Amino acid sequence: MNLINNLSDWYKDAIIYQVHVRSFYDSNGDGIGDFKGLMDKLPYIEFLGVNTIWLLPFYPSPLKDEGYDIADYMTVNPIYGTLNDFKKFLKEAHKRNIRVITELVINHTSSQHEWFKKSRNAKPGSPWRNFYVWSDTPDKYSEARIIFRDFETSNWTWDSTADAYYWHRFYSHQPDLNYDNPNVQKEIFKIVDFWLGMGVDGLRLDAIPYLFQREGTNCENLPETHQFLKKLNAHIQNKFKNKFLLAEANQWPEDAVKYFGDGDECQMAFHFPLMPRMYMSVQMEDRFPIIDIMEQTPTLPEPCQWAIFLRNHDELTLEMVTDEERDFMYRMYTNDPKMRINLGIRRRLAPLMSGDRRKIELLNAFLFSMPGTPVIYYGDEIGMGDNFYLGDRNGVRTPMQWSNDSNAGFSEANPQKLYLPVIIDPEYNYQAVNVKLQEGNSQSLLCWMKKLIELRSAYTAFSRGSIEFLYPNNSKVIAFYRIHNEQKILVLINLSRHTQNFNLDLSQFVNHPLIEAFGKTEFPTITENPYFFILSPYGFLWLEIGEKSKVPESLNLKDRILNIKDKWSEILSGSNRKKLEGLLLDYIPTCRWYRSKSNLISKVKIMDEILFKNHKNPIYFLLLEIDYINKHSEDYFLFLTSEVGEDFTEKAICQLIDRKGQQTFLIDALYSTNASMHLFHFFRSNKTIQGTVGSIAVNTTRYKEILNKKEDVIIKPLDKEQSNTSLLYGDTALLKMYRLSEKGINPEVEINEFLLSNNKYISPKLAVTINYINKQNISTAGIIQEYIPNEGDGWNYSLNIISNICENFKSFDLFQNKKEVVFPWIKISDPLPKKILDSLDIYAHAVKIIAQKTAQMHLALMGNASNKAFEAENYTLFDQRSLYQSLRSVIVKTSKLVSAKSLSINGEMQKKLDFFFSNKNKLFNNLEYLLSKKLGGKKIRCHGDFHLGQTLYTGDDFIIIDYEGEPCRPLSERKIKYPPLKDLASMLRSFHYAIYTVLNENMLISSSFDPEIWYSWICNIFIQTYLDYPEVRSLLPSENEFFSLLLKAYMLEKVFYEINYEINNRPDWVHVPCMGLLNLMGDNPL
C-alpha cells in the first residue's frame, strides 16, 4: 500500500464518508448490500473526492441494533460476504488512496455472543461470570441515566439462566462487558490486533464513556476509562504505524476533550455539541449558538482533531443541549412526533432542511468551514430522503439510491426481499433523487458537493488551521478566519433567509486582495476602511486572503374602508379578503395582545374562518398567519364582528360601507358586549363548530355550574391582560382567550385540570376549555374559569402597603448594618428580629401568606408516578449543566448589550458593572459548581411566571392564578420541569421591583435609607416561611449551602433577563436589576 498522505496524523486531512455495507449496493440479488457490491462502487466514492471510508459494524450479529450487537468480533457476517471479500475490498480501497476505518464496539456485545452464553451459565465469581457485569439487585449504580428512554426502563435486566441481573447501558440485548476483568481487556487487544494487522487504518470506539461502573457516579467518563484508553493507545502505537482511534463520546466539550488525554488516548473524537448548534443557528438566524459552543471548546493536544458531522446512522442527538434548546429543535424540526426518538430526531439532512437546496448547501459549507475532520453520511450528498415510519433509526438507513431503476438500482432482488424499502416519498422518491441523474447534471447537489470536497481538500487552513471569529454588527452573519501557515481564508455565512449586509474590519490585512474560492473572482483590495459585504439568503463566501497587491399607536379610519353590498361577512370573500388582510397588517401591531411588536410584518394571511351563527351580527373566528421579515411566522386567533356607533371608532379595524352608504365598524368581537355575551353562552356546553379548515371544540368540566346564572349579567374586559384577552362574566366566571396559536394544550389548562383533583389546594376552578383543532393538531384557544372576588392583585396590594409603611415609618437607623442581610439573607435557620417584623408592619404577614401559598402550590404540583407529566424527577448534574449553559448564554448576551448601551445608572454602579462584565470568564468559573457539585433536590412542573401580579388578595388571603407560564416562551418549553427554586427566584425579584417602584415614586431613596436592606429582610421572611413546610424540603437540596447555591443560580438567571429587558424597554429602570446583580454577587463578585 502506498497512500498519498502517509503522515502519522493523516486523519486531520481526511474527509470521511460513512457507509453501511448493508445499505450501499447488493451484488448478488439477495436484497442486502455486501462487500463485493461496496467494492463495485469504489469508483463512485473516488469520484466524490472523499479519502476515507467509515464502515458500520459488519460482524456476525442478530441485527437487533444495526450490527452494534456483535456476536463474533473476528469475522464477517455471512450476509455481507466473507472475510476474504473484506480483504479484497480493503486492498482495492487502498489502491485508490482511500483509507478504511471500522467499528470497535467494545462497551457491549450481543446477548448471543459466546462470551455471554458462557458467562450466564458460569458460577458467580468464576472467570467467565466476571466477563460481564452481574448483580443480585437492580439498585446498583442508580445515578446512571437511561440512554434509550424510549425503549428501556432500567439499565439492569434479569437473566433467569444466571439467576441475576446484568448491566446494559443501551438495549437489554446488549450486555456490557466487565472492564474490571483483565481477561476482557486482553480479548479486546486481540481484536484490535486482528483488524489493524489486516490493514484497517483506524477504529471508531463506540460508546466509549461507559466502559466502567462505580457506585456514587453516573458511570460515565470515569478515570478508569481514560487509564484503559492510554493503555490501548500505547499498545497500538508500539505495534502499528499511522493508525488512529476515534472516540464516540457524546459529551460536553470539557468532558469530550478528556478522551484525547495529553495526546496519548484517542487521536480524534466527535464534537457532538457543535452539530445541533449548526441547525439551531440556521433556524434562529443567529450566530450565537456557534460562537458560544466554540468559546467553550478547549484547545486540543497537537496530534488530535475533532470529527464534525451533520448526520449519521443514529438520530440527530440532542443530548448535549439545554432543555430549552432541545425543545426548540423539536419544535422547529419535528412537525410529527414520530420523528422523535430517544433524545433526538430520526431524519436525514435534506428533509430536516425541508428540501431547501440553499440551506442544504449552507449547512455543508458550514460544516466544511469549521475546525475538524468532516464526516458525510452516505446519500446526503444527493439529498436522499428518509422514512421515519420504519421504526427505530431505520428510516435513515434505507438503500442507497443509484438510479431510477427498480429498487433504486440498489438490488435486482424482488422489492419485497429488500432489507428495508427504498424511499418512495413524493418529494424524495428514488426516481427523482439518485446518483445517475445527478452525475449527469453539473448543477446538481452531487456535483456541488464534489466541488466543495475538492475545495476543502485544497486548503489546509480548513483541516489544520486555527479559527478566529469576527463580530460584525449583524448577528445573522457569522464570520471567521481560518489560518494555517501562510494560508488565510475568510469565511462569511449568512444564516438568514433574507439578504444581509454588514461591514468588517479587515485592516490587519490592508492591501491584500480577496479571492473568492469557488469562482476565483477577485474582490476589491482590503483597505483601512471597513469592508462592506452583501450576502444572499443562506449564502456563504470562502475568500482567500492573497498576498499584497417604527409601529403606529392608532389607525386613521378615513383611509380604511371596505365596501360591501349587504352583509359584512362579504369581506371574507373575493377581492375584499385580500384587502382585509392588508388592513390587518397595519391593525395587528396596534393590539395590546400582539407579542412581536419589534418585528416587521411582511404579510398577514387568513388561514381559516369559523362562523358563529344565531346572533344579530355574525361572529367570525379567524386563524391568521403572520409572516415576518426577520423571524419565523406566527399564528394568531382573532374574533371579528361589526358594530354601529362612534363608541367603536378607537377599537375599529376599518369602516364598512354598504351600497346604501350606511356605516358600520369592523371590530374585534371581544370588545363588543353583545358579541362577547353570545360567545359566553355558546361556550357553556360541549359542542363543536366546523370551519373551512379546522374546528372549535368546547369541553366542559364538572365545574360548569359556575356558568349557570340565568339573570342578566354584565360583561366587562379586564385591563390587566397583555398577551391574552380576559372578560369578566358577572362576578362568577372569567373568560380568557389566548391570542397566539401554539400547538398543544396550554400549560394553564393542564395545571388547572391537575389541580382539580387536589381538594386541599385553593385555585380558580376550571369550567371550560376551548380548543382549535386542525387535522391532528390541537391549540388551546381559551378557557373559562371561576372568578375569585378580590381587592386587587398582590402587586398593587404590595405597592399600597409599602407606600403606607414609608409614609408612617420615619426612623431607618435600625437598617444600617447592611453586612447582616446580604445574600443568602442570613443563615436560613436564623430567627427574624422583632424590630424588623414590627417595622414591616402587616406586610410581613402578607409575605408569609404568599410564601405559604407558594409552598402549598409546589406540593400540589409535585404529582406522583400515576401522572408522568407531573411526576417529580431528580434534579441531576445534567440538569445543572443545562442551567450553567443557560446562564452562560444570558451572561454573554447581557455583557454585549451592556457594553453597547449607555445605561441610566450612577457612575459607581457603572464602574462595578464594567468590571463585572469585563471579567465574565471569572464569573463562569465562579459558576462551575453547577458542573461538579451535585446539589440535589427535585424538579417539578412549576408556575413558570411567578410574581406578585399572579396572586389575588381576597382581603385575608392570597390566591395564586395564571398557570400559563411566561407567554413569551414557546408553549412546549413552558412544560419543562424545573426545581421549585426557579419560582422562588422569580417571586423574590418581584419583591425587589415592588419596593423600588414605591420608593422611586416617593423619592425616598437616600443615604439614610437603603432599600436593599429592607428587601433582604423581606426575602428572609419569605424563605423562612416557605421552609417551615417540612414536606417541601423533600423537593429542595438537603443542605443549606446547596439550597443557597441553586437559588443564587436561578436568581442570577432572572436578574440577567431583567437587565436585558430593561435596557431594551425601560432604560430608566435598569438600576434595579443591576443592584440586584451586584448584591447577589456580594462585595467581591469575582
Instruction: Identify whether 646 is a catalytic site residue.
Output: no
Is the pLDDT assigned to residue 814 strictly greater than 80? no
The reported pLDDT for the residue numbered 1015 is 85
911/227: higher pLDDT = 227
Final residue in a domain of this structure, among 167, 200, 229: 167
DSSP state of 979: -
Summarised one tens digit per residue, pLDDT across range 380-391 is 999 999 999 998
The confidence score (pLDDT) of residue 201 equals 97
Same structural domain for residues 651 and 770? yes
Burial pattern 605-634, b for ≥16 Cβ within 10 A else e, equals: bbebbbebeebebbbbbbbbbbeeeeeeeb
Backbone φ and ψ of 53, nearest 5°: -110, 130
Centroid of chain to Cα 722: 26
Pairwise CA distance, residues 90 & 200, whole Å: 8
For the residues 712-728, what does the mean pLDDT come to?
81
Q: Is residue 912 part of a domain?
A: yes
pLDDT score, position 812: 46
190 occurs within a structural domain: no
Distance CA 440, CA 687 (A): 59
Identify which of 737, 704, 702, 733 has the alpha carbon closest to the alpha carbon of residue 721: 737
Domain identity same for 750 and 887: no
Does residue 242 sit within a domain?
Answer: no
Could you tell me if 890 and 835 lie in one domain? Answer: no
Alpha helices in 619-726 (DSSP H): 673-682
Give the residue, 718 or 219, on which the prediction is more confident.
219
Domain count, the chain: 5
Burial of 753-790, coded b for 16+ CB within 10 Å and e otherwise, reads ebbeeeeeebbbbbbbbbbbbbeeebbbbbbbbbbbeb
Higher pLDDT, 820 or 331: 331
Q: Is the pLDDT of residue 586 over 90?
A: no
CATH classification at residue 859: 3.90.1200.10
Q: Are 470 and 492 a contacting pair, CB within 8 Å?
A: no
Residues 6+ apart with CB under 8 A from 98: 42, 45, 46, 50, 51, 52, 53
Residue 709 has pLDDT above 90, yes or no: no
Residue 526 falls inside a structural domain: yes
User: Does one domain contain both 893 and 863?
Assistant: no
Nearest-CA neighbor of 411 among 685, 787, 23? 23
Give the range among 221-235, 572-586, 862-876, 901-915 with minimum mean pLDDT.
901-915
Give the list of residues 6+ apart from residue 532 with CB closer than 8 angstroms, or none.
Answer: 501, 502, 503
- Ramachandran region of residue 285, left (φ > 0), alpha (ψ -120 to 50) or beta? left
Residue 815 clears pLDDT 90, i.e. is over it: no
Give the DSSP per-residue string, 141-153. TTTSPPS-TTT-S
Residue 1007 has pLDDT above 50, yes or no: no
pLDDT in tens, 253-269: 999 999 999 999 999 99
CB-CB neighbours of 793 under 10 Å: 20
pLDDT in tens, 83-103: 999 999 999 999 999 999 999
Q: How far apart are CA 152 and CA 643, in angstroms?
A: 60
Of these ranges, 534-548, 589-603, 712-726, the one predicted with the greatest mean pLDDT is 534-548
Domain assignment of residue 766, yes or no: yes
Examine the pLDDT at 1004 and tell me if it is beyond 60: no
Catalytic residue among 248, 319, 323, 983: 248
Q: Are residues 671 and 650 in the same domain?
A: yes
Q: What is the largest CA-CA distance in the chain?
A: 100
pLDDT 10s digits, 620-637: 999 999 988 777 889 999
Q: How far is CA 539 from the centre of its chain?
A: 25
- Strands 654-657 and 766-774, by their bridges, are unpaired
Cα–Cα distance measured from residue 796 to residue 260, given in angstroms and rounded to the nearest whole number: 58
238 Cβ contact partners less than 8 Å away, ≥ 6 residues apart: none
**Residue of 579 and 345 predicted with greater confidence:** 345
Cβ neighbour number for residue 554 with a 10 Å cutoff: 8
Radius of gyration (C-alpha) of the chain in whole angstroms: 32
Q: Residue 1010 — very low, low, confident or very high, per pLDDT cuts 50/70/90? A: low
Contact 208, 225 (CB under 8 A): yes
Among 147, 167, 187, the domain-final residue is 167
Decide if 206 is catalytic. yes
pLDDT of residue 782: 95
What's the CA gap between 68 and 174, in Å, rounded?
Answer: 8
Same domain assignment for residues 944 and 913: no
CA–CA separation, 252 and 272 (whole Å): 8
- Spatial separation of the C-alpha atoms in residues 421 and 415, rounded to whole Å: 7
Whether residue 309 contacts residue 374, with contact meaning beta carbons closer than 8 Å, is answered with: yes
293 in a structural domain: no
Q: Which residues contact 86 (CB under 8 A, 6 or more apart)?
A: 35, 58, 76
CB 1028 within 8 A of CB 1021: no
Confidence of residue 810 (pLDDT cuts 50, 70, 90): very low
Mind listing the pLDDT tens digit for each residue in 36-65?
999 999 999 999 999 999 999 999 999 999
Evaluate if residue 832 carries a pLDDT over 80: no
Q: What percent of the chain has a predicted confidence (pLDDT) above 90? A: 68
Q: How far is CA 440 from CA 409, 437, 454, in A?
A: 16, 6, 18
Say whether pLDDT at 1006 is over 60. Answer: no
Query: What pTM was estimated for this model as a whole?
Result: 0.86
The DSSP symbol for 376 reads E
| Together in a domain, 613 and 701 | yes
Determine the average pLDDT of the residues in 365-390. Answer: 97
Q: Is the pLDDT of residue 908 over 80?
A: no
Decide: 741 and 635 in contact? Cβ < 8 Å.
Answer: yes
* CATH assignment at residue 525: 2.60.40.1180
Question: In the structure grid, which three cell numbers stand for residue 238, read together?
Answer: 508500539
Q: Are strands 531-535 and 522-523 parallel, antiparallel or unpaired?
A: unpaired
pLDDT tens across 868-900, in order? 899 999 999 999 999 999 999 999 988 888 877
pLDDT beyond 90 at 813: no
Q: Name the 3-class secondary structure at 942.
A: coil
The answer to whether 1063 and 897 have CB atoms below 8 angstroms apart is yes
The answer on 1013 and 890 residing in a single domain is no
Amino acid at 1079: N
* Predicted confidence band of residue 825 (pLDDT cuts 50, 70, 90): low
pLDDT of residue 721: 60
- Residue 808, pLDDT > 90, answer no
Side-chain half-sphere of 183: how many Cα atoms within 13 Å?
9
Per-residue H/E/C for 763-793: CCCEEEEEEEEECCEEEEEEEEEECCCCCCE
Asked if residue 1008 has pLDDT above 70, the reply is: no
- Neighbouring CB atoms inside 10 A of 552's CB total 10
CATH number of the CATH domain containing 154: 3.90.400.10
Are 914 and 1012 part of one and the same domain? no
Domain contains 846? yes
Does residue 799 share a domain with residue 676? no
Reduced to 3 states (helix: H, G, I; strand: E, B; else coil), residue 640 is strand
Distance in angstroms (rounded) separating the CA atoms of residues 424 and 395: 12
Query: In this structure, what are the phi and psi dihedrals at residue 670, rounded to the nearest 5 degrees?
Result: -75, -10
List, in order, residues 6 or more apart from 398 with CB less than 8 Å away: 23, 384, 386, 387, 390, 420, 421, 422, 423
Residues contacting 422, CB < 8 A, separation 6+: 398, 399, 401, 407, 408, 410, 415, 430
| CB 1059, CB 899: distance < 8 Å | no
pLDDT of 452 > 70? The answer is yes
Whether 741 contacts 984, CB under 8 Å: no
Instruction: Count CB atoms within 10 A of the CB of residue 531.
Output: 20
Q: Is the pLDDT of residue 710 over 60?
A: no
The residue whose grid cell reads 395564571 is 962
**What's the full length of the chain, in residues?**
1086
Domain around 510: 459-545
User: Binning pLDDT at 50, 70 and 90, where does residue 417 land?
Assistant: very high
CA 396, CA 563: separation in Å to the nearest integer?
55
Give the closest residue to 1043 by CA, choosing from 962, 984, 1001: 984
pLDDT of residue 816: 47
- Whether 136 is in a domain gets the answer yes
Q: What is the pLDDT, as a whole number, of residue 910?
A: 77
Question: Catalytic one among 26, 69, 103, 206?
Answer: 206
What is the average pLDDT value for the chain, to the nearest integer?
90
Say if residue 746 is exposed, middle or buried (CB neighbours under 10 Å; 0-12, 13-18, 19+): buried
Based on the domain organization, do 579 and 684 belong to the same domain? yes
Residue identified by cell 472523499 is: 50
Contact 794, 948 (CB under 8 A): yes
Same domain assignment for residues 157 and 144: yes
Residue 942: exposure state from Cβ atoms within 10 A (0-12, 13-18, ≥19): buried
* Cβ atoms < 10 Å from Cβ of 681: 13
Residue 469's DSSP bridge partners are: 480
What is the band of 1083 on the pLDDT scale with cuts at 50, 70, 90?
low
Q: How far is CA 225 from CA 208, 245, 298, 450, in A?
A: 8, 14, 20, 39
Query: Does position 3 have pLDDT exceeding 60, yes or no?
Result: no
**Amino acid at residue number 140:** K
Tell me the residue ranges of DSSP E strands in 403-539: 466-470, 477-484, 487-494, 500-504, 514-516, 522-523, 531-535
